Amino acid sequence: MKVALMMENSQAAKNPIILKELEGVAGPLGHDIFNVGMDGENDHHLTYIHLGIMAGILINAKAVDFVVSGCGTGQGAMMSLNAHAGVYCGYCIDPSDAFLFNQVNNGNALALPFAKGFGWGAELNARYIFEKALTGERGAGYPVERREPQVRNASILSEVKTALLGTSYIDSLKNLDQELVKTAVSGERFQACLFENGQDKELEAYVKSLL
C-alpha cells in the first residue's frame, strides 16, 4: 500500500516525529511512505485547505491508497479532505478510533490532532494509531456480526457523495481558485509522488498545466 503523509504550516515542526513513527510501523508491513506535505516550518507553505486538494488529487489519481493528515485540532483537515470526491477521512485521536474506522468505515484517510492533546507519550499514541490503521482486514466490521449492514452503508455513503458532488473531479478542481490549487501542487515531493505513481493521465496533465 502507498501511504501519503501531509502536514500543514501550524504543525510542520512535528513532521519528523510523525514521519518516524509512521515509517516505523509501515516499513515492516511493506508499505511505501510519501512525505508530501511540509517537513518543517520553512518548507513550502500549506494550510489544511491545501491538504484537502493534495489528498483529493493523489487519491483520485491512484498515486496513493491512503492518506495521513492533520492540523492543530485535526478537525479542519478532516473537513477539508472530506470535501473532495473519493476521499473518506476519519477523525482519529486514539488507536481505537483508527481500528474502528478501518473495520467499520473502510475509509482511505485519517486526520489527527497534532496540537490539541499532543503531550507526553504523543509519539507512542501516533505509533499505535498507525498500527491499527494499517493492519487487519479493512471493512471486516465490528462487531463482526454487523459486517453486512456496515459494508452496505459504506457503499451507500459513497453513492451519496458521488451524487451530491456530481461533476467530474477535474471540473471540480477547475471551479476552485486556481492559485489555491497551484500552491497545493507546487511541492516537489508531492509532484514526485503524483507523477511517479499516478494512474490518471488526464488529472496529471491538469496539474502540469498549473505548473
Average pLDDT along the chain, 211 residues, taken 10 residues at a time = 97 97 97 97 94 98 98 97 96 97 95 96 97 92 88 90 86 95 97 98 97 93
Q: What is the pLDDT of residue 137?
A: 87
* Rounded-to-integer distance, Cα 136 and Cα 113, Å: 23
Q: What is the pLDDT of residue 167?
A: 78
CATH of domain 2-210: 3.40.1400.10
State the DSSP string of the chain: -EEEE---GGGGGGHHHHHHHHHHHHHHHT-EEEE-S-SSTTSS---HHHHHHHHHHHHHTTS-SEEEEEESSSHHHHHHHHTSTT--EEE-SSHHHHHHIIIII--SEEEEESSTT--TTHHHHHHHHHHHHSSS-TT--SSGGGHHHHHHHHHHHHHHHHHHH-S-HHHHHHTS-HHHHHHHT--HHHHHHHHHH---HHHHHHHHHH-
Task: Report the 10 Å Cβ neighbour count for 24.
Answer: 14
